[in-house]
Every structure is written in structure tokens, then in C-alpha cells.
Amino acid sequence: MDPDTPEPSGLRIPDLKIPGLLKLTADRRKALATAAAAVVAIAVLLVGGMVFVSFHEGQQVAAFNSHVSASEADLFLVSGKITSHMRTPTNDLSVAECDAHVREFAAIANYGRAVTAYHRRIVAVDAVPEAYAGAQSAYVRALDNLNRAFTFWSSAASAYEVRDYNAANRNIAEADKAWQEYNAAITDYDRELRVVEEGPEVPPA
Amino acid sequence: MEWKDVLPVLVGGLVILVVALVVKPALLGEPIGFASSGSVPAGDPPVYVPPAPVPTATPFPDDGEAYTRSFRWTAIDGGVRTTEVRVPEALFLTHRGTSRFSDYNSWGRYALADADRPLLEDLAHRIAPPAANPDEGYFRLMNLVFFVQQIPYDRDDNTTSYIEGVLPSHAMYVKDGVEYPKYSVETLVDGRGDCEDAAILMGGLLDALGYDTVLLRYSDHMALGIRMNEFNPYYAKYTPRHFMYGGQHYYYVEGTDFDWGNISVGSTAIWGRPHPIGDTSGTGIPSVQSETPQIIPLRYVPEPGEYQIRPVRLPAGGA
């Protein structure tokens, strides 16, 4: 040993390796990774779930939309037949023309009954988000009332065929009532839809 | 973090998706995948089926057997008029063999019977020929009214009211006796009838001339209502009676002449005083003076008051 450079025996750097600490660090890293994985998993589940629920509800509303749209398209055709029929002046028809007019009325009534029953069956079983349940219920009620009105029209036409004009008039009066209930149901439907889509601050219709 | 840590998360998500999109729909019978649940197989939408056409009446041949009837009446100018009516026998027998409606509301059909129409149009134009001067419209109308009023009155339960001399097979036996509303040509062939027969004939003739009329039904009588905007002639010593229907004025017109009487004892000649339009006091029928009649339009079709289908807004969320 060189005496000029004596080895300071008292200053030996101790071995700083702490095996326990190293082990702890490795465990912590694993724990952190696991926790992060769990957080990611939960986040993925949450976000995925929310996206899925939102997508699913969107799909339900889209289906409801398409069913109401199809119903409205068919009702538009019925409405066209009714409007054309009602425009026919009846003040100078012959007896045969009166009979033909009422037969057409009966055919429109049967058409209206079939259309409303068909679309009611479809719209009523639509699975819709809870927020749309009120609108769906009101629309189904509207179709029911319209169906009832057409049934009374049909009965009025049958009464005419057997020349029971009093019964025909009674059926027409009942049909008018059912039609008013249809109007009320459509007003409810519009209001429910506006509440869902524009918020609860919607003024009453 | 390593891939082996992320893998279970991805697998878990995949399992959830498979359960949500495949297993649950399969168990509940819903469509698999992202298709909406709740739709039902409903078949094709209904289509409009047009009504069967109303069968058109076969015209009765003019060259077959027919009843010819002569009529003589006093017109509004005091002159005596005559005319002849030829009714195909087949038409008359068809009507006689047709059952009657017990509901008064449908009696307008007897006035407007399609098979009678050509004959009534011809007769109406002979009784009240078209005039160039529109002021003569009132005289045309009154000539037609006078013609009907001078057809002898006979009750439904009286066999003399029918050319066969017996009650028709479709006569209806009601509480007060017999009811048998005649088609217009039946009244013409029989040459007589009661109040509803006269109202029906007058309604048919006036309709053929383009007048709007209704039947006025009282508890024991039937007359006609004719639509006029205003009828208040200066010479009338009465207030013309009218009734409102559909926002229009219908003035009372008597179809029978209850003032018939023999000119003198033992004479078969008779005289009568026609009833002017709106004169109810001259009829001498208490119900006409005290009751408000039921108004029966000649034409009837069921007419709903409500028929507008309202278009609705569509749910926007899923559009």
C-alpha cells in the first residue's frame, strides 16, 4: 500500500444494498399495475356500458320513430281518401249515387280500421326508453280512438244499408266523440314528445 | 403495465358484449345484434279496397204494357189543365212488390227513386214548362203544388186507395191502422193517396225541377218543406210558416187539399181551395198548427262532423 495514499480504513463506504426495499419496490409496481388495470377495466366498463346503453336507447328511439313514421305515412293515405270523399257534394245525388257514396264511406272506414289496427300492433310493443313511454302510450291511445271512430263509421254505413237512419246518426255521433278523443290523445303525444326533447319547461299545448 | 394486464380487461369487455348482444336476445327471443328489440312481424300494411259498384237499375221498356192516367186540375191562373201520364206496368208492379221502410227517415227514397225519375222529370216539365222569364218561377212552382194538392185524398187503410181494390201485400199494420208510403208512380197510377203519398210525389216532382225540399213529419200528418230564401208575399193574409234546417229556411207546403167538398147536395162535382205556401192555419189539422215537425231530408248520407287526421311530429332522438 502506498503510504501517501493511505486507505482510509475508517471511511469505507458501506454496502447500501437493501434487499427488502428492492422487493418492496417491485411489489408496489405490480400493485400499481394491477390497480391501473382495474381502473382501466372499470373505466372501459363504465364508458362502454354508457356508450352501449346510449346506443341501445338511440336504437329504440330510432325504431319508435320509424314505426310512428310508417303509421303517419299510411294515415296520410287514409286522410287523403277521407278528404276526397268529404269534398263530394251530396245535395243533388240520385238514390243510386247516395248508395255508392255510402259504400265508399264504408270502404274508407274499413281501410282506416285496418291501418290503425296494424300500426297499433307495431307501435304498442316498441321497447322505448322510459322518457318516451308517455309519448308512446299517447300515440297508441290515439290509434285506438281512431280505430274506434272508423268502427262507428262502419256501423253507420251498415245501418244505412238497412235504412235505419236513426242508428246511422247515432253511430256517427259516437264516431265524432271518438274522433275528439283521438285529437286529445294526439295533443298529449305532442306535449310528451316536446317534454322529452325540449325539456320540462315546455308550455302546455 | 403490460399486455398481459390489459388482456383480461379486453376479454371481460368482449364477454359482456357477447352476453348483451347475443346471449340475452337469444334467451328473450329478441333480434340478435344491434337491431332494435320490440318489433313484431306484422305482415304487409293494409291497402284500400274500393267498394263494389252499386248495381244500376234496368230501365223499364216503354213499349210494354202500361197504365195511362189522365189528370185534370186547376192551375194558379184559374185555368183548367189536363195531362196524361203513362207508367210502365212492370215499374208499377215492381214498386208494389217492394217492401216498405218502417223508419220515416228513409221515406225520401220513395220520392227520389231512380226508376221513377225520367217519368217525374217529364211530368214536372209538362205541368210547369220552363219559362224564359225568371219571375215566372213562382207560378211554375205553384202550378206543380196545385197539381198534387188536387189528387184525391184517400187513407192507407182504405182499399179504394189501390187499383187492385185490396191492401198491398207490403202494407204495414201499425198501432193506428195501416201505413203504406207510395212511390210517386204508385200515387199516379192509383190516382189517390194520403198525406205522405202527396208529400212524396210533390217532393219528387219539385226535386226534378231542381227545388230543395224536405219532408215535414207531424204526429199524425206529413207535409213538404220547400227551401226558399225569403217568402213573404204582400197579398198573404198569414205569416208564412217556415222551419230551419241546416241553416236554411224551409217553408211549409201542404200536399193534400182538405177543403174538398161537394159543390151541392147530391152533386158529384167537387170544389176545393188550394193551400198557398206557408199557410198552416188553413189546413185545419191541429198538429200542424201546434207541433214542430221532424224534418226529414229527401237525400240522406251519413256525414261525420269530425274527420281530420292530424299529422304528428316524429321522435327526433333516433332519427
pLDDT of residue B319: 44
Residue A124 has pLDDT above 50, yes or no: yes
Q: Nearest chain A Cα to B13, which residue? A: A45
Mean pLDDT of B159-186: 95
Residue B313 has pLDDT above 90, yes or no: yes
**Pairwise CA distance, residues B79 & B126, whole Å:** 15
Q: CB B314 to CB A81 under 8 A?
A: no
If one compares A76 and A40, the residue with the highest pLDDT of the two is A76
Q: CB A96 to CB B109 under 8 A?
A: no
Q: How confident is the model at residue B146 (pLDDT cuts 50, 70, 90)?
A: very high
Q: CB B114 to CB A105 under 8 A?
A: no
**Pairwise CA distance, residues B33 & A129, whole Å:** 18
Residues of chain A positioned with their CB less than 8 A from the CB of B57: 96
Residue B223 has pLDDT above 80, yes or no: yes
Name the burial class of residue A147, with classes exposed (0-12), middle (13-18) and buried (19+) by CB atoms within 10 angstroms of its CB. Answer: buried
DSSP state of B20: I
Percent of chain A surpassing pLDDT 90: 65
Residue A110 has pLDDT above 70, yes or no: yes
> Taking all residues of chain B, what is their mean pLDDT, rounded to a whole number?
86
Q: How does pLDDT run across B229-267, given as a tens digit for each residue?
A: 888 777 777 889 999 999 999 999 999 875 555 556 666
Nine cell digits for residue A96: 243510386
pLDDT of residue B231: 80
Residue A44 φ then ψ, to 5°:
-60, -45
8 Å CB contact between B194 and B254: no
Domain boundaries, chain A: 64-198
Q: Closest Cα of chain B to A59: distance in Å?
A: 6
Strand partners, B73: B81
Mean pLDDT of A84-112: 95
If one compares B212 and B229, the residue with the highest pLDDT of the two is B212
- Chain B, 162-221: which have a CB under 8 Å from a chain A CB? 212
- Which range has highest mean pLDDT (B29-33, B45-49, B175-179, B283-287)? B45-49
Residues of chain A positioned with their CB less than 8 A from the CB of B309: 75-76, 78-79, 82, 146
**Pairwise CA distance, residues B162 & B8, whole Å:** 104
Q: CB A100 to CB B53 under 8 A?
A: yes
Q: Is B28 on the interface with A (CB under 8 A)?
A: no
Give me the helices (H) in B194-249, please. Answer: 195-208
Q: Name the residue facing B302 among A102, A127, A146 (closest C-beta).
A: A102
pLDDT of residue A1: 47
Nine cell digits for residue B30: 329478441
Residue B316 has pLDDT above 90, yes or no: no
Q: Closest Cα of chain A to B317: distance in Å?
A: 6
- In the block, cell 200528418 appears at B221
pLDDT of residue B40: 58
| Residue A115: Cβ within 10 Å count | 24
pLDDT of residue B3: 67
ipTM of predicted complex: 0.80
Q: Three-class SS string for A117-145?
A: HHHHHHHHCCCCCHHHHHHHHHHHHHHHH
Q: Nearest chain B Cα to A73, which residue? A: B311
The residue among A173, A23, A62, A16 whose CA lies nearest residue B317 is A62
Q: How does pLDDT run across A12-45, given as a tens digit for each residue?
A: 655 656 555 556 677 888 888 888 888 887 887 7
Mean pLDDT of B189-206: 96
Determine the residue type at B185.
Answer: V
- Chain B, 78-117: which have a CB under 8 Å from a chain A CB? 101, 103, 105-106, 109, 112-114, 117
Q: How does pLDDT run across B88-108, given as a tens digit for each residue?
A: 999 999 999 999 998 899 999
- Which range has highest mean pLDDT (A4-13, B8-17, B211-220)? B211-220
Mean pLDDT of B22-50: 69
Q: Name the residue facing A126 among B38, B53, B106 (closest C-beta).
A: B38
> How many Cβ pairs within 8 Å bridge chains A and B?
206
Residues of chain B positioned with their CB less than 8 A from the CB of A141: none
If one compares B34 and B283, the residue with the highest pLDDT of the two is B283
pLDDT of residue B266: 67
Residues of chain A positioned with their CB less than 8 A from the CB of B109: 95, 163
Mean pLDDT of A176-184: 98
Q: Name the residue facing A61 among B12, B302, B317 (closest C-beta).
A: B317
Residue B170 φ then ψ, to 5°:
-100, 15
Q: Tell me how far CA of residue B223 lies from CA of A105, B148, B199, B253, B256, in angstroms.
A: 31, 12, 5, 6, 8
